[in-house]
Amino acid sequence: MKAPGKRALRVFRTKEALDGFMAWEWTVACRRAVARSGRFTAALSGGTTPVSFYVRLAAPGRGLPWDRTYIFQADERCVPSDHPDSNFGLIESKLLRHIPIPQENIYAVRAELGPEAAAAEYDARLRDFFGSTNGEIPRFDLILLGMGEDGHTASLFPGDAALAETRHLAAAVARAAPDHDRVTLTLPVIRAARVVAFLVAGANKAAVLKSVIDAPEKGPPAALARSSAGRTFYLVDQEAGSRLSSREQRSAGERVHVLQ
């Protein structure tokens, strides 16, 4: 496995400041990608943490090239898109319906097929889009992730077989009720990304964030989900960052931990 890329962590006093910084990171990654390849590819997560960021990103006046932007999903629950637990339903309602992105630029997991078929179909569509027909792993420009209290990210849960998947780009994940079966990008796809961005907020994430930061290669799935050649950063609020004790540098009123 290639040596991991750089990691950085920023602690913000408010979620608003965190979202603003992520909007800036998105804009930089987007403009760089469009200048380099003519397009920007991003995979988005569900959950509650990114909602306010999606709302902020959808605000008019950013001048983002949405016609050159391609939106994918980091993971999905196998429910209809109008189900309250649908990640696509969330991303569509908070971001996609508010921006001038062509429908053909949106690659949603086809959850209605059920986990196995949806994973296979998404895998095939990813290979087709990225032209990775002979096995190489597609390289997203940015993958936006959250972190569960158990250390899961996307739908890669501790101890789940999907964590060991190295051939497929997407995997089915069986979950017991009240959760739902899921489809997730696999670790090789996340590790190939140019930028992996984590948004983490709330005191309930402090312990898991510390385990991720302090044990980069042995920790939970969220610790393994880092770019191998690009950048991984963690944007966290003060509550989530409250148990971090690594080296820090103060700059611009935020605590920036420069990680190995």
Query: What residue ranges bind ligand 6PG (CB under 6 A)?
Result: 45-49, 74-75, 87, 146-148, 152-155
Q: Which is nearer to ligand 6PG, 26 or 68 (CB)?
A: 26
Q: Which residue is nearest to ligand 6PG (CB)?
A: 146
- Residue 250: CB minimum distance to ligand 6PG, A: 27
- Residue 50: CB minimum distance to ligand 6PG, A: 7
Q: Which is nearer to ligand 6PG, 64 or 156 (CB)?
A: 156
Q: Which is nearer to ligand 6PG, 68 or 110 (CB)?
A: 110
- Residue 252 corresponds to which tokens in the numbers above? 């611009």
User: In whole angstroms, how far apart are CA 177 and each of 180, 237, 238, 239, 244?
Assistant: 6, 31, 33, 30, 34
SS3 235: strand
- Residue 225: CB minimum distance to ligand 6PG, A: 10
In angstroms, rounded to a whole number, what is the distance separating the alpha carbons of residues 199 and 153?
11
In angstroms, rounded to a whole number, what is the distance separating the alpha carbons of residues 238 and 65?
32
DSSP symbol at 66? G
Q: Which is nearer to ligand 6PG, 154 or 212 (CB)?
A: 154
- Residue 149: CB minimum distance to ligand 6PG, A: 8
